[in-house]
Amino acid sequence: MCGIFAYKGYQTNATELVFEGLKNLEYRGYDSWGIAWKKNQQIQVYKQVGKISEASSEPFAEQESTLAMSHSRWATHGAVTQNNAHPHFSSDQSIAVIHNGIIENYQEIRDRLGRSRFSTETDTEVIAELIAEYRKTMDFESAAKKACHEFEGRYAFIAMSQEDDMLIAARRGSPLILGVAAGEWFLASDIPAFLKHTREVNYLDDDQMVVIGEEARFIDLLSDMEIQKRTVTIDWTEEEAQKGDYDHFMLKEIMDQKETIMRAINQNEEEILKIAEYIKKARGVFLSGCGTAGKVCMASEYFFSIVANRHVNFAPASEFPIYHHFLIPESLLIVVSQSGETADVLEAMKVAKEKGAKVLSIVNVQGSSIARTSDFSLQINAGPEKAVASTKAATSQLSLLLLIAYAVAGRLEEGKKLLIETASMINDMLNPRFLKYIKEVADAINHSEHTYIIGKAANYPMALESAIKIQEVSYIHAEGFAAGELKHGPIALITPGTPCIALIAEDEVRQDILNSTMELKSRGAYIIGVSPNMHECFDHWIRVPDAGIASPIVNVIPIQLLAYHLSVLRGCNPDMPRNLAKSVTVK
Ligand code: F6R
């Protein structure tokens, strides 16, 4: 969802600084953007519809300012217009605000303050208006605190005041991180915004506020007391957050998989064994996540079943709350999330905790809300993932969950060996010849309007994941099926020439999925086989290494590449698919 980034310090080009930093958050929202800055005690605002990456910094070049804030929007309330873009002013122009989240009681606040005071369709405007209202009779900090007590819903907002040389920010449910350097403060919804300037951070928790004047002070909004926060040094580098020589982040992140599997399994063994013991003792283990992370969970059900002989239940996070009947204090919920901020996952965790159950999280973003509020947390260490479509995070999550399944089976070393071999095979697979071949396959199916993907066992969830990848970046209608389900309905969709992708492993179900593939071929389907071995029914053979039970990790990578090329061939932007945002912080 929306990206927010603000600066207060001694650099006099604050507007350009937030303009550049915001570009690094564009993956969070890209329908419109805006900047507010203070110059000669006046707040100035500039906003535009469109992508910040396509905008010029010219309007900010001459703006001497040491205090500025910026926002890239992913619309929730109100159409994509310049008027609805942030920052938003209070009606008397004394307060400007940027916001990520949803103020659920905004209609109520509008009614109370008088509808004529509002000029946009957004919920955000009430934040500025309410603070401005209270600021008439009290200082900026007290006004912001008082307003926060009235907001319902989720927010991370930053406010600037005409009268005060300060930034005030608060969070409940949406991410907000303070980057700190000597005499400088950077407030952002995600670290890449300020990685160039500092790696020292304070994570704000829910119901906390930070007031940045001469120094930064933290306030707990539940008690209104000042609190101390620990400064953490993050280990991402600026280089990792850039796309280097690649045309798109998506391609860069696919290629990062040459290394990321090794980073995912490079864990503290004692910690993994402790978690394995917990899983063994738990009475009821659930796996939950959204979208791609959800498909990773679903594949891991098979890993736990096949490797560790353990029954683990998967439910998408948005559906998980209905399972509350089955939760007891001895239950364990394992949540998987790249961003560590997904609202549905946080809600699933809340439901589990209310029943006294424990939560293990597997995240990529260090210090994220999900990581900080779980009982145990493991990081996949994939480095920043900026393309909206999740690629390297997914294979890292799969690798770590497979490793845990091996640990539960008491065969950690065997699992490690398999995954090290898999990492090395992926490194070999991603060679220029392989990349060229996938592009040729994309050329062959580029004009199709429908694609179907089949898989069996742990490759069935990967068929579902492959469909997500193709849909979201190329807008081709793609659907994944369990191979054996074809004959129960979906095969009616096949007409001569329909591209069908079969994800095949050298395992005990190989013959079954080959039979299903031949059934498709008999109806005229154009078959793309992703498999360690050739079969006569393939029109295209994408040769992948034989990774045994780790085959879902290997098989999904060529489909990520295929989706990428389909996107580019069809003139889409693979990094910023329409209607989607990288971090889904609304329910
Ligand atoms: C698809 C994709 C999404 C995310 C989902 C969960 O490529 O990226 O489906 O997987 O929104 O996000 P996280 O993993 O951040 O919880």
Q: Which CATH architecture best describes the domain 3-240?
A: 4-Layer Sandwich (3.60)
Cis ω before 384 (30° cut-off from 0): no
And the tokens for 63?
């703006």
> According to the model, what pLDDT value does residue 281 have?
96
Output DSSP code: residue 173. Answer: B
> According to the model, what pLDDT value does residue 514 have?
96
R_g of the chain computed on alpha carbons: 25
Mean pLDDT across the stretch 265-280?
96
Mean pLDDT across the stretch 362-389?
94
Domain residue spans in the chain?
Answer: 3-240, 243-429, 431-587
> According to the model, what pLDDT value does residue 234 have?
85
Does residue 584 register a pLDDT over 90?
no
CA–CA distance, 133 with 130 (Å, rounded to integer): 5
CA of 196 to the centre of ligand 1 (A): 26
> With DSSP H G I counted as helix, E B as strand and the rest as coil, what are the percentages for the chain, rounded to 5?
40, 25, 35
Measuring CA to CA, which residue among 434, 375, 378, 394 is closest to residue 266? 378
> According to the model, what pLDDT value does residue 51 have?
87
CA of 344 to the centre of ligand 1 (A): 11
CA–CA distance, 475 with 472 (Å, rounded to integer): 6
Mean pLDDT across the stretch 493-518?
96
Q: How does pLDDT run across 203-251, given as a tens digit for each residue?
A: 898 899 999 999 999 999 999 999 999 898 888 777 777 888 899 999 9
Mean pLDDT across the stretch 527-554?
97
Measuring CA to CA, which residue among 510, 323, 524, 287 is closest to residue 408? 287
Q: Which residues line ligand 1 (CB under 6 A)?
A: 290-293, 337-339, 342, 345, 389-390, 468, 472, 583-584
Does residue 583 register a pLDDT over 90?
no
For ligand 1, mutation pick of 385, 559, 584, 585 (most atoms within 8 Å of CB): 584
Q: Which atom of ligand 1 is nearest to the CA of 389?
A: 7
And the tokens for 83?
């008027």
> According to the model, what pLDDT value does residue 587 have?
72
CA of 390 to the centre of ligand 1 (A): 6
CA of 292 to the centre of ligand 1 (A): 5
Q: How confident is the model at residue 63 (pLDDT cuts 50, 70, 90)?
A: confident
CA of 545 to the centre of ligand 1 (A): 27
Q: How confident is the model at residue 40 (pLDDT cuts 50, 70, 90)?
A: confident
Mean pLDDT of the chain, nearest integer: 94
CATH (residue range 431-587): 3.40.50.10490
Higher-confidence position of 41 and 362: 362
Transcribe 400-454 into DSSP letters: HHHHHHHHHTT-HHHHHHHHHHHHHHHHHHSSHHHHHHHHHHHHHHTT-SEEEEE
Q: Which atom of ligand 1 is nearest to the CA of 293?
A: 10
Regarding beta strands 200-203 and 177-181, do their DSSP bridges make them parallel or antiparallel, or are they unpaired?
A: antiparallel
Among protein residues, the one whose CA lies closest to atom 7 of ligand 1? 389
Among protein residues, the one whose CA lies closest to atom 16 of ligand 1? 337
Mean pLDDT across the stretch 492-514?
95
Among protein residues, the one whose CA lies closest to atom 5 of ligand 1? 291
For ligand 1, mutation pick of 249, 250, 292 (most atoms within 8 Å of CB): 292
Q: How confident is the model at residue 21 (pLDDT cuts 50, 70, 90)?
A: very high
Q: Which CATH architecture best describes the domain 243-429?
A: 3-Layer(aba) Sandwich (3.40)
Mean pLDDT across the stretch 366-372?
91
Does residue 580 register a pLDDT over 90?
no
> According to the model, what pLDDT value does residue 16 have?
95
Q: How confident is the model at residue 581 (pLDDT cuts 50, 70, 90)?
A: confident
Contacts of 316 (CB under 8 A, 6+ apart): 288, 289, 290, 294, 344
Q: How confident is the model at residue 366 (pLDDT cuts 50, 70, 90)?
A: confident
Q: Which atom of ligand 1 is nearest to the CA of 342?
A: 16
Q: How does pLDDT run across 121-174, given as a tens digit for each residue?
A: 999 999 999 999 999 999 999 999 999 999 999 899 999 999 999 999 999 988
CB 170 within 8 A of CB 221: yes
Does residue 29 register a pLDDT over 80?
no
Among protein residues, the one whose CA lies closest to atom 3 of ligand 1? 291
CA of 547 to the centre of ligand 1 (A): 25
Which of 93-102, 343-352, 535-544, 573-582 is the least confident region? 573-582
Mean pLDDT across the stretch 491-503?
95
The catalytic site residues sit at: 2, 582
Domain 243-429 and domain 431-587, same fold? Reply is: yes
